[in-house]
Structure 1
Amino acid sequence: MNKKIFKESLIGMVMGVGIMLSAYYLIPKDIIYKLFPTTNSESVIFFISVIICPFLAIFLHELGHLVAGLIQGFKLQLFVVAFLGIKRQDDKIKFYLNKELQYFGGVAASSPIQITNKLKEQFALILIAGPIFSLVFGLLFITLFIYSNTLFNSSFGIIGIISTGLFFATTIPEKSGNFFTDRKRMQRLYDKGKTGEIEQSYIETTSQLLIDNHYKNLSTEKLCLIQSDTEPIVQFWGYYFEFKHYEELGNSEKAALIKEKLLTYKEIVPVNIWNSLSIN
């Protein structure tokens, strides 16, 4: 892990701990104690909730992204949380068991029927919908936790706390590991300078890829613009798309040249993602 990524991860961790400590000291203790079990039945539900509820909170966040795409006429391409996934294959929706580690933290992908001049606004809505779902459901479940008195108090509390945390985690920092948060992606998208042009090219490129299900029609001009970004991880995707573009066109000479550039980014790409791309 390079120093920049380590610094950003450390800042995120400190912010998370700060929020938790603030909540502990500001929230009345009698409400906090409701989170913990007092009977055997509550203990069973509590331990099950500790395992399942974080994934339910992630599910709600990714559902926000997906719903925002579907209501705009986009087609579902992929929706995964932990081991469970839904994907479009041969233009049919299929359920499957996810084995890709990079998707365990949740992913939702939908594609437009065609690329229009409204793509930026459509994608911005998809970006913001995830944090909004997290905040709304977080507050809803926290309200249920505070004002209800059932065996499922711990479930309500855990989902509410994690969902609210996801809202802050996807809006306050600029990055989560190597990747931009939802807020930062939206900020980049509406940037008036070159960054906005790069982000526009990126969403048009990925949308074209999802529409066609191949790399042949990708614009090399847009790929070059993506490669000019100041962020190495964005540059990497520009080169990867170009590599696949020439590979599918049968231009092995150009594909080999791009592959050499790709290999220089190997250290910044998470191992599980690098392995799934079959570059070597």
Structure 2
Amino acid sequence: MQRRPLFGFAILVLFLVGVYFLLPNLQPIVSLFSIFGVAGLLAITLHEAGHVIGGKVMGMQFGYFVAGPFHIEKGRKGIRIRENRNWGLIGGVALMHPAEGRSEDRLRKDLAVMTMSGPLTSLALGLLMLAVWYTSGIEFFAICSMFHGVILFATILPLPNGQFQTDGTAFFHLIKRTNEAKSKIQSALLTGEMYGAKRPLQWSSSMYKACQEKMDRATDVKEVFIEAMFVFYVEADRDGIMPAIDRQINHFRIKPDKKSAIYYGPFLEWRMLADALCGTLDNQKLSEYAAGVSSLSDGTYSRMQAMVAWSRQDGDKALMYSKEAFAPYEKLNGFGVLEREWTRMLAARIRTSAKTIA
């Protein structure tokens, strides 16, 4: 089983508590380390909260934000806090959906304000903590100020950041109206539709057509990742998962690639899932595709693990993973409706198979 952030945080806390009481000489070091940890997590949380507040001020809809081991999201029944299962997101991320009826220019402003609200929050809180430390002399506030400053510079400068852009880079593209900014705006519109109240078959037909046209001009799914997902969900809801994912796999010739797992992984897992639901699961293909599924997508990753365990006739573990896979989609509307249906169907097949073996 993959060790998740909350497990790692719990082990670290237990370790520090043990050292604190068993090795009294190290208590000052443990205390300092703990203060650094609390200040760092607080700085990350407040930075992401700044993005959320900025988006709300501009009329955007809250999606979710992640900080450390915590994932706060808006679902069908309001706001809830759940465990963050991805190590890759412990540094924080926030998602806001655009308000309906926004023009491209207005949405650009909304995204620009939301993007800069995080760094501005870190700047303001860094200065505030510095002032509190200066007047009170309490070192905790100095450490907090330092972490706010580190996060400010790490997010405002156009530094390399793997698959993600820094806030400064994203803001630059938005104010310069670059092609990158236009793509970001279109992705925000599509994401808003995908996370909205309607199931995929009811999504905007004009968005669906635009996504199809953009896909026809692309050679790699990485170029049109959101568009390809949008089209897949609509067609899966209309035609079924097997023909929908076959069209995507064949069009882009998607194959397992660890370097591109964040993009290829969902499509590979859907291909495996289609076989599993249709009773045509190929164990060799399953192992091959599983290597290309990214752990950053906790729903698809856990469901892939369920299918792998199922192929090894480990029904208990397969059901455990299918339950984990259900959790990220439990409260979602939009595409989450299909993901819940598919996960329930997979769990039902696993239970039936387990009873047959028994």
TM over 0.5: yes
* 2:194 paired with 1:209: yes
Q: Which one-letter code corresponds to 1:137 in the other structure?
A: L
Q: Which residue of structure 2 lines up, in the alignment, with residue 65 of structure 1? A: 51
8 Å CA contact 1:198–1:225 kept in 2: the answer is no
Which protein has the larger Cα radius of gyration, Structure 1 or Structure 2? 2
Q: Which moved more, 1:255-264 or 1:197-206?
A: 255-264
Work out whether 1:50 is the aligned partner of 2:36: yes
User: Counterpart of 2:260 in structure 1: which amino acid?
Assistant: I
Identity of aligned pairs, percent?
Answer: 21
User: In the TM superposition, what is the alpha-carbon distance from 1:269 to its structure 2 partner?
Assistant: 3.7
Residue 230 of structure 2 aligns with which residue? 241
Equivalent residue, structure 1, for 2:137:
149
Q: Does 1:171 align with 2:147?
A: no
1:19-168 aligned within 5 A: 45-117=31-103, 118-150=106-138, 153=139, 155-168=140-153
Q: State how far apart, in whole Å, the 2-side matches of 1:227 and 1:127 are.
A: 31
Q: What TM-score, normalized by structure 1, do the two folds share?
A: 0.71
| One-letter identity of the residue aligned with 1:212 | A
For 1:208 and 1:85, the matched residues in 2 are separated by 21
Say if 1:226 and 1:127 are closer, same or farther in 2 by CA, change over 3 A.
farther
- Kindly indicate whether the alpha-carbon contact (under 8 Å) linking 1:114 and 1:211 is maintained by their aligned counterparts in 2: no
State the Cα distance separating 1:201 from its structure 2 match.
Answer: 1.2
What is residue 6 of structure 1 aligned with on the other side? none
Shift of 1:169: 1.3
> Structure 1 residues 128 and 193, CA, compared in 2 at 3 Å: closer, same or farther?
closer
Amino acid at match of 1:239: A
Deviation at 1:160, TM superposition (A): 1.4
Classify the secondary structure of the residue corresponding to 1:119.
Answer: helix
Q: Secondary structure in 1 aligned to 2:66?
A: strand
TM-aligned CA deviation for residue 256 of structure 1: 1.4
Q: Deviations over 1:159-179 (max 9, x none)?
A: 212211111111212541111
Deviation at 1:141, TM superposition (A): 1.8
Partner SS, residue 212 of structure 1:
coil
- 1:202 partner amino acid: S
| Count of residues in correspondence between the two structures | 239
Find the partner of 2:260 among 257, 262, 268.
268
Provide the secondary structure at the position in 2 that maps to 1:196.
helix
Q: TM-score, normalised by structure 2?
A: 0.57
Q: Which stretch has the larger CA shift, 214-223 or 177-186?
A: 214-223
Name the SS of the counterpart of 1:273 in structure 2: coil
Structure-2 residue corresponding to 1:26: none
Task: Determine helix, strand or coil for the equivalent of 2:196.
Answer: helix
Higher relative contact order (CA 8 A, sep 6+): 1
Once the 2 structures are TM-superposed, how far is the Cα of residue 101 of structure 1 from its aligned partner? Answer: 3.0
Write out per-residue CA displacement over residues 52-97 of structure 1, whole angstroms, 9 at most, x where no aligned residue: 2111110111011011122233332213212223222214222223
Q: Report the alpha carbon displacement of residue 182 of structure 1 after superposing the two structures with TM.
A: 1.3
Aligned to 2:156, the other structure's residue is in SS state coil
Distance 1:231 1:195, change over 3 A: farther
- The aligned amino acid for 1:178 is Q
Runs of 4 or more consecutive aligned structure 1 residues displaced over 6 Å after TM superposition: 39-42, 226-232
Of residues 208, 219, 225 in structure 2, which corresponds to 1:220? 208
Aligned twin of 1:4: none
Whether the aligned pair in 1 keeps the contact of 2:63 and 2:95 (CA below 8 Å) is: yes
Q: Which structure's residues are more often helix, by fraction?
A: 2
Equivalent residues of 2:60, 2:110 under 8 A apart? no
Within 2, Cα distance between the matches of 1:119 and 1:181? 19
Query: What residue is the counterpart of 2:245 in the other structure?
Result: 255
How far, CA to CA, are the matches of 2:216 and 2:40 in structure 1? Answer: 36
| 1:214-235 C-alpha deviation (Å, 9 max, x unpaired) | 4442523543548978998553
Q: For 1:121, give the aligned amino acid.
A: K
Distance (whole Å) between structure 1 residues aligned to residue 120 and residue 167 of structure 2: 11
Report the CA distance shift for 1:97/1:207 in structure 2 as closer, same or farther (over 3 A).
Answer: same
Q: Which runs of 5+ in 2 are unaligned?
A: 1-24, 263-293, 305-358
